Amino acid sequence: MSWNKFTRLASHVKVSPYIKTGHGQAFSATKKYLYVIANNHLLKNTPNSEEIMQISKKNLRIKRIWSFKIWNNGANDGRYIHNAVLINDHTFIAEYHRLTDHRFEYWEVTRNGDSWIPKEIGATKGDFMFNNSPVQGMAYDKKRKQIYLAFNDYLFKLNRKGRVLDTGSFHTGREFEGICVNGNHFYAELAQRPELLRQRIK
């Protein structure tokens, strides 16, 4: 991209000092809104609540802020979400790595009015990565009802119940920074140097 084209595009970028964005791996878009789950990526196994921000695409202003918390068995047994995908204006799919139990959990959280109701839809026994690498990206294929998880240079495709359907890896010394599914295509952003990849889903 030429410098002139970049400056033309950049002139339309809007920045809001009022929106806290967490670590950026729980960011989604629907037709009218952007959604951010604002969290602290350093917190693990905490009972703290999190925030969902609904942001208008027209003016990048916050329309609503909801506080939510996922737990099992009791309020002190929290699932602090680092990775989530909004699949529409009323539903998101989230992933939680329960380190102490060597287990990944998948939650569907549905909005009814101003209440967000979580339901565990699946789990995977194990840690995927032996070095406790964090999830670098999460995507949800609405058409096929499949979950993708990216770890550094590894990619896993799962069904909603958590069963691994396929795996892939590449060895270039680079890593995933974010992934998404749009229609029949899978997109991946790589780090160092930034690069965007596209693959047709078969």
Q: Which domains does the chain have, with CATH numbers?
A: 136-202 (2.40.10)
Residues counted in the chain = 202
Separation of alpha carbons 65 and 23, rounded Å: 17
Q: What is the pLDDT along the chain (202 residues), one digit of tens a residue?
A: 788 888 888 888 776 666 776 666 788 999 999 999 988 888 887 888 999 999 998 888 899 999 999 988 888 888 999 999 999 999 999 999 988 889 999 999 999 999 999 999 999 999 999 887 889 999 999 999 999 999 988 999 999 999 999 999 888 778 888 899 999 999 999 887 788 889 999 8
Nearest Cα neighbor of 86 from 29, 45, 31 is 29
Identity of the residue numbered 25 = Q
Tell the burial category of 38 from Cβ atoms under 10 Å away from its Cβ (0-12, 13-18, 19+): middle
Kindly report each contact of residues 28-34 with a partner whose C-beta sits within 8 Å and lies 24 or more positions away, as own/partner: 28/84, 28/85, 28/86, 28/87, 28/92, 29/57, 29/86, 30/86, 30/88, 30/89, 32/56, 32/57, 32/58, 32/89, 33/57, 33/63, 33/89, 34/60
Helix (H/G/I), strand (E/B), else coil: 3: helix
Separation of alpha carbons 24 and 84, rounded Å: 10
CB atoms within 10 A of CB 169: 10
